[in-house]
């Protein structure tokens, strides 16, 4: 699924990154605990999380994840957005809660 | 949808069963307890990978109807006992919180 | 295998690098003063089932030691009412609180006594070490070392717990210094960038980075944020070592258990504390050694093999 579709399905806005139509994810994973995310080893995964610390970006960076979808309408601090930009990770943000964002994406065929 | 329906349709393992006729109103996926306290609605199904005993306290406080512990994790027996006292249902699922949310959403729990 | 050889093997594994006399000794020590009577020493030995009593002056400085054989002599000579001073051994072989485990062992081997007093720099008695204390220290050290290896064919002869190479050189060095979590993970990010320049495959770099990150975060949330992250990347393998300055892990087997964590709720709100970090490290590394202990530094060393892919 292209990130442009993720944007449209979840009503998200793009906080950092560009050319969303060129970035593709094949899976999604939702968690607020970083070690839980780190246990997964699939690079082509969209990380869905309510955590907006620099460690969210670091976690994605370690795993080579292309994009993060921040849920629950969390404000993304400037330094976190900057870190996403410098590490080349696309950062999206939506007001939907994790359950609904996950449900909508799953319903549209993005597998776990 | 009732607690019973969720158990049936997810095919998850039942760790402890509370009131199965209880109505399930919405879903909430989250691993941050403060967030659940602040935002989850009473009657929600709560999907998490947390297995800490505080999960039960929070679930009872909010009025969660089912806790689904994801990714094949299980709770220590004292946590299960605690849940039984609170008449809470705990399910164990092999799926991730994303997939559990997806399946319930598709089943119509919006 | 004779005891000496077993101890040699264990020493080779680096199992005792964290043990010094102060961590081996027992501190529940009974001592007498020179003016006390020999009879008092005899009663003490019998009641506490000990085979030697250290003698200290008013400032608790070690001045002598009275052993069972001295008591037997005094008994034969009818001198139980005399002062301890008159029968005690004065040139006592003692250990210093900071003596290494090696020193302790060689002391037992050379002098054939069953117990050694342990003193501070100023001569104050702080504990006693018996052969039982040594044995229990050896047993305890098994709880403070964790070795995981998928290449289980290695034998003692070709393997030591920690790589010696770090003593001479490392290809990558990062000083971890972090208050709270703000820059936690930066070292691992740099390590990842460094490994990518070294021509390693994507997947081994990912495994090494994830594990380094888990270990670095642990230093920040469990060990006060001060430590080091070093790596050697040569000959198709990546060795990563993360060290801190304590407070250490008391029971590593427990800490390895998925879901076991001492993290506070505040840490869980920051996205950590699921108790999965060490389990992840075990899953993603090809070889793992952790050496720690209560009030000790923690050393985590992981090896990643490039040809595994
Ligand atoms: N460097 C360290 N110093 C002291 N204690 C540590 C250190 N690393 C781990 N521990 C102890 O081991 C436990 C388990 O560590 P582990 O990394 O598996 O989980 P965690 O850090 O608590 O949570 P998570 O890694 O999921 O965020 C910790 O809770 C802590 O008690
Ligand atoms: Mg950890």
User: What CATH number is attached to the domain comprising C171?
Assistant: 3.30.565.10
Comparison of pLDDT for C35 and C292, the residue scoring more: C35
Residues C48 and C196 in one domain: no
Residues C153 and C300 in one domain: yes
Q: What percent of chain A has pLDDT over 70?
A: 100
Nearest Cα residue to atom 19 of ligand 1:
C275
Residues C84 and C212 in one domain: no
Query: What is residue A31's predicted lDDT score, i.e. its pLDDT?
Result: 97
Average pLDDT estimate for C51-73:
93
Residues C125 and C218 in one domain: no
What parts of chain B have a pLDDT lower than 70? Answer: none
Q: In the listed set C76, C111, C142, which residue is the last one of a domain according to the structure?
A: C142
Query: What is residue C155's predicted lDDT score, i.e. its pLDDT?
Result: 37
Query: What is residue C158's predicted lDDT score, i.e. its pLDDT?
Result: 39
pLDDT at A34 over 90: yes
| Domains of chain A with bracketed CATH | 3-107 (3.40.1390.20)
Of A35, A43, A61, the CB nearest to C280: A35
Q: Which ligand is nearest to the CA of C252?
A: 1
Give the mutation target among C249, C259, C274 for probing the ligand 1 site: most ligand atoms within 8 A of CB. Answer: C249
Chain A residue with CA closest to B29: the answer is A99
Average pLDDT estimate for A53-72:
97
pLDDT at C90 over 70: yes
Residue C7, ligand 1, Cβ within 6 A: no
Residue C297, ligand 1, Cβ within 6 A: no
Residues C138 and C153 in one domain: no
pLDDT at C154 over 60: no
ipTM of the complex: 0.96
pLDDT at C280 over 70: yes
Q: Does A53 touch chain C (CB under 8 A)?
A: yes
Query: What is residue C4's predicted lDDT score, i.e. its pLDDT?
Result: 62
Query: What is residue C181's predicted lDDT score, i.e. its pLDDT?
Result: 87
pLDDT category at C113 given cuts 50, 70, 90 is: confident
pLDDT at C61 over 50: yes
Query: What is residue C294's predicted lDDT score, i.e. its pLDDT?
Result: 86
Residues C152 and C285 in one domain: yes
Q: Does A36 touch chain C (CB under 8 A)?
A: yes
Provide the mean pLDDT of chain A: 96
pLDDT category at C150 given cuts 50, 70, 90 is: very low
Query: What is residue C25's predicted lDDT score, i.e. its pLDDT?
Result: 92
pTM: 0.76
Query: What is residue B105's predicted lDDT score, i.e. its pLDDT?
Result: 97
DSSP string, chain C: --HHHHHHHHHHTTTTTT-BHHHHSB-----B-TTSBHHHHHHHHHHHT-SEEEEE-TT-BEEEEEEHHHHHHHHHTT-TTSBGGGTSBSS---EETT-BHHHHHHHHHHH--SEEEEE-TTSBEEEEEEHHHHHHHHHHHHHTEEEEES-TT--GGG--SS-THHHH--SEEEEEE-STTTTTTHHHHHHHHHHHHTT--HHHHHHHHHHHHHHHHHHHHHSTTEEEEEEEEETTEEEEEEEE-S---S-HHHHHSTT-----HHHHHTT--SS-HHHHHHHH-SEEEEE--TTS--EEEEEEEGGG-
pLDDT at C159 over 50: no
Q: In the listed set C107, C142, C177, which residue is the last one of a domain according to the structure?
A: C142
For residue range C202-248, what is the model confidence (pLDDT) as tens digits?
Answer: 999 999 999 999 999 999 999 999 999 999 998 889 999 999 998 99
Taking the centre of ligand 1 as the mean of its atom positions, its distance from the CA of residue C282, in whole angstroms, is: 13
Chain B residue with CA closest to A96: the answer is B28
Query: What is residue C19's predicted lDDT score, i.e. its pLDDT?
Result: 79
Residue C189, ligand 1, Cβ within 6 A: no
Query: What is residue C7's predicted lDDT score, i.e. its pLDDT?
Result: 61
Residues C138 and C160 in one domain: no
- The domain ranges of chain B are 3-106
Q: In the listed set C127, C142, C157, which residue is the last one of a domain according to the structure?
A: C142
Residues C111 and C173 in one domain: no
Average pLDDT estimate for A24-28:
97
Chain C neighbors of B52, CB-CB under 8 A? 268
Residues C153 and C285 in one domain: yes
The CATH number of the domain covering residues in B3-106: 3.40.1390.20
Domain that includes residue C24, residue range: 3-142
Residues C297 and C220 in one domain: yes
Query: What is residue C110's predicted lDDT score, i.e. its pLDDT?
Result: 87
**Neighbouring residues of the ion ligand 2, judged by CB less than 5 Å:** C 218, 277
Q: What percent of chain C has pLDDT over 90?
A: 54
Residues C228 and C177 in one domain: yes
Chain C residue with CA closest to A50: the answer is C271
**Chain C interface residues (partner B, CB cutoff 8 A):** 258-259, 265, 268-269, 271, 274
Q: How many folded domains does chain C comprise?
A: 2
Query: What is residue C179's predicted lDDT score, i.e. its pLDDT?
Result: 87
């Amino acid at each position: 699924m292209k990130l442009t579709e993720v944007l449209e399905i979840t009503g998200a806005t793009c906080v950092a990154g560009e050319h969303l139509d060129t970035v593709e994810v094949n899976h999604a994973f939702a968690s607020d605990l970083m070690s839980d995310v780190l246990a997964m080893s699939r690079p082509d995964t969209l990380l869905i999380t309510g955590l907006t610390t620099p460690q969210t970006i670091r976690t994605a960076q370690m795993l080579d994840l292309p994009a993060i979808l921040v849920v629950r309408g969390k404000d993304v601090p400037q330094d976190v957005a900057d870190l996403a930009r410098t590490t080349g990770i696309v950062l999206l943000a939506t007001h939907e809660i994790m359950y609904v964002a996950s449900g909508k994406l799953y319903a549209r065929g993005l597998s776990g | 949808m009732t607690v019973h329906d969720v158990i049936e349709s997810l095919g998850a393992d039942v760790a402890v069963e509370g009131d199965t006729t209880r109505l399930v109103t919405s879903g909430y996926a989250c691993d941050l307890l403060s967030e659940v306290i602040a935002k989850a609605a009473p009657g929600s199904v709560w999907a998490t990978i947390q297995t800490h005993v505080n999960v039960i306290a929070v679930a009872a406080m909010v009025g969660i109807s089912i806790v689904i512990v994801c990714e094949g994790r299980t709770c220590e027996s004292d946590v299960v006992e605690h849940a039984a006292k609170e008449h809470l249902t705990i399910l164990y699922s092999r799926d991730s919180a994303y997939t559990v949310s997806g399946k319930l959403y598709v089943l119509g729990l919006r | 295998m004779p005891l000496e050889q077993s101890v040699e093997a264990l020493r080779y594994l680096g199992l005792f690098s964290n043990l010094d006399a102060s961590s081996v000794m027992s501190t529940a020590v009974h001592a007498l003063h020179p003016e006390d009577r020999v009879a008092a020493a005899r009663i003490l030995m019998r009641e506490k089932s000990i085979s030697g009593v250290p003698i200290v002056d008013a400032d608790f400085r070690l001045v002598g030691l009275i052993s069972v054989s001295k008591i037997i002599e005094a008994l034969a000579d009818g001198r139980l009412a005399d002062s301890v001073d008159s029968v005690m051994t004065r040139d006592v072989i003692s250990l210093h609180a900071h003596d290494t485990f090696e020193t302790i062992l060689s002391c037992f081997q050379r002098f054939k006594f069953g117990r050694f007093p342990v003193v501070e720099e100023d001569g104050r008695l702080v504990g006693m070490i018996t052969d039982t204390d040594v044995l229990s220290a050896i047993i305890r050290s098994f709880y403070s070392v964790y070795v995981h290896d998928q290449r289980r064919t290695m034998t003692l002869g070709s393997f030591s717990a920690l790589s010696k190479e770090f003593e001479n050189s490392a290809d990558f060095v990062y000083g971890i210094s972090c208050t709270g979590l703000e820059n936690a993970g930066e070292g691992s990010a740099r390590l990842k960038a460094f490994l990518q320049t070294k021509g390693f495959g994507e997947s081994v770099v990912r495994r090494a980075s994830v594990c380094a990150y888990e270990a670095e975060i642990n230093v920040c949330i469990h060990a006060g944020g001060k430590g080091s992250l070093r790596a050697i990347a040569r000959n198709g393998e990546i060795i990563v070592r993360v060290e801190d300055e304590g407070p250490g892990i008391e029971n590593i087997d427990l800490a390895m258990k998925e879901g076991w964590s001492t993290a506070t709720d505040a840490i869980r709100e920051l996205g950590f504390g699921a108790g999965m970090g060490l389990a992840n490290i075990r899953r993603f590394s090809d070889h793992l050694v952790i050496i720690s202990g209560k009030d000790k530094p923690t050393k985590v060393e992981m090896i990643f093999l490039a040809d595994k892919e």
